[in-house]
Structure 1
Amino acid sequence: MELAVYNIKGEDTGKKVTLNDEVFALAEPNEHAVYLDVKQYLANQRQGTSKSKERSEISGSTKKLGRQKGGGGARHGDIKSPVMVGGGRIFGPKPRNYGFKLNKKVKALARRSALTFKAQNNQIVVVEDLNFEAPKTKEFVNFAKNLKLDGQKVVLVLENQNKNVFLSARNIEQASVYTASELNTYRVLNNKTLVLTESSVAVLNQF
């Protein structure tokens, strides 16, 4: 698959880049692998720190509130009973790790499948390697406008870290910047358009 390369002004440079068909044009992209990889990524974002106190952790007297029989009502234990106001909670949440294991081959298949879906929907744009002289949000906004991507959720993929580009996009809610090695299935799909620099394509072709 070949795509045109645009410059920072949104003009077609006349150059072409070749996307590896084994990454961007799978014959049978695997939706279930994509689902599992996204599920794992989101699970790993959960802190898992929710905690409620059980009966044994509540501060209070252990004295029996009333006699066992003859009181004319229900039988109660101490004030920490879960049926009492301020008592412990039954089967409440405890700190836990929501993460789960996923094989490397499944994750690799999911990334390739996600990139295939983006390519099939014409949601990939390739630009020349770019750099800003200084961190300026306006520079990135103009860059997006030139590519007619303003107002869209965009992910820009670089080959290596670029501080000026990263800082220029940081204050834009709809824009994210990652290096090719940081790109995962969730980040590929969680946008409207995937903008790749020329040099990052070479890295992604090895996925």
Structure 2
Amino acid sequence: MKVEVLDIHGKETGRKIELSDTVFAIEPNDHAVYLDVKQHLANKRQGTHKSKERAEIAGSTRKIKKQKGTGTARAGSIKSPVFRGGGRIFGPRPRNYSFKLNKSLKRLARKSALSIQAKDNNILVVEDFNFDAPKTKNFVAVLQGLGVENKKSLFVLGDLNNNVYLSSRNLKRAKTITNSGLSTYEVLNANKVILLESSLEGINQI
């Protein structure tokens, strides 16, 4: 499929570029997308949750009342989970939530995500640009030129460009990554995916 190349002002340059049908026009695999997004979110979890169990509570070890004759249940420790301030039964423990996915499945998920966005006309191809210095207002001008200032946008660069990256870092709705860092979650989480020309060579080879 061929798409028009835009400049940073959102105007057509008169050039068209070929997007690989094997990446941008496949039948999306919903389950692969689900698994890749699930893994992305699971990997972001810290897993540092912890509550104290019975053996970790600081408290007296004496038997709080006699075993028989009280008419109530037996109780041997103030640290029992049935008492206020006692330990928690089967409480959360630190754990690692990450899990493994095959590389082929992750590639399929990324292709599916790009195909979904392409089908919805949410992908723009923009000629490469650079800034002389990191300036947020310069990046805002690019967003306004492309008409995406009020939308969540994902800019995909061919190589890391510090001036462009730093210019976008303070903007809540804009994110800049390189094609090597492209993920299914980031693609689907954006309202518009803006691909710079230099990024297409790497993306077409996913």
Measure, in 1, the Cα distance between the counterparts of 2:9 and 2:107. Answer: 34
- The TM-score with structure 1 as length reference comes to 0.98
Deviation at 1:101, TM superposition (A): 1.2
- Structure 1 residue aligned with 2:9: 9
Shift of 1:72: 2.4
Secondary structure at the aligned position of 1:46 is classed as coil
Displacement, 1:100? 1.1
RMSD over equivalenced CA pairs, Å: 0.7
Amino acid at match of 2:22: E
Q: How does 1:34-53 map to 2 (within 5 A)?
A: 34-53=33-52
Q: Distance in 1 between matches of 2:25 and 2:183?
A: 17
Which residue type is aligned with residue 49 of structure 1? T
2:9, 2:21 → 1: CA distance? 28
How far has the Cα of 1:83 moved from its partner?
0.8
**In the alignment, what sits opposite 1:25?**
25
Find the residue that maps to 1:111 and give its secondary structure.
helix
**What amino acid sits opposite 1:88 in the alignment?**
G
Q: Report the AA paired with residue 128 of structure 1.
A: E
Q: How many residues matched? A: 206
Matching residue of 2:102: 103
Find the residue that maps to 1:75 and give its secondary structure: coil
Partners of 1:150 and 1:88 in 2: CA distance:
51
Give structure 1 stretches of 5+ with no counterpart: none
Equivalent position amino acid for 1:139 in 2: N
Q: 1:166 — aligned with what? A: 165
Query: Aligned partners of 2:10, 2:108: CA distance in 1, in Å?
Result: 32
Aligned counterpart, 1:190: 189
CA–CA distance in structure 1, aligned partners of residues 165 and 93 of structure 2: 38
- Residues 170-203 of structure 1: per-residue CA shift (max 9 Å, x gap): 1110000000000010011111000000110111
Residue identity opposite 2:88 in structure 1: R
Matching of residues 120-135 of structure 1 within 5 Å: 120-135=119-134
For residue 109 of structure 2, give the secondary structure of its aligned residue in structure 1.
Answer: helix
Moved over 6 A (4+): none
> Structure 1 residue 121: deviation in Å?
0.3
Three-state SS of the structure 2 residue aligned to 1:91 is: coil
Encode CA deviations 1:27-81: one digit per residue, 9 max, x unaligned: x210110000000000000000000011011111111111111012221111111
Q: Does 1:138 align with 2:143?
A: no
SS of the residue aligned with 1:187?
helix
CA deviations 1:108-158 (Å, max 9, x no partner) are 100000000010000000000010111111111110111111100000000
Q: Which residue of 1 aligns with 2:53?
A: 54
* % identity of equivalent residues: 58
**What is residue 75 of structure 1 aligned with on the other side?**
74
State the SS of the aligned residue for 2:41.
helix
Which letter does structure 2 place at the counterpart of 1:60? G
Question: Unpaired runs of 5+ in structure 2?
Answer: none
- Report the secondary structure of 1:69's partner residue: coil
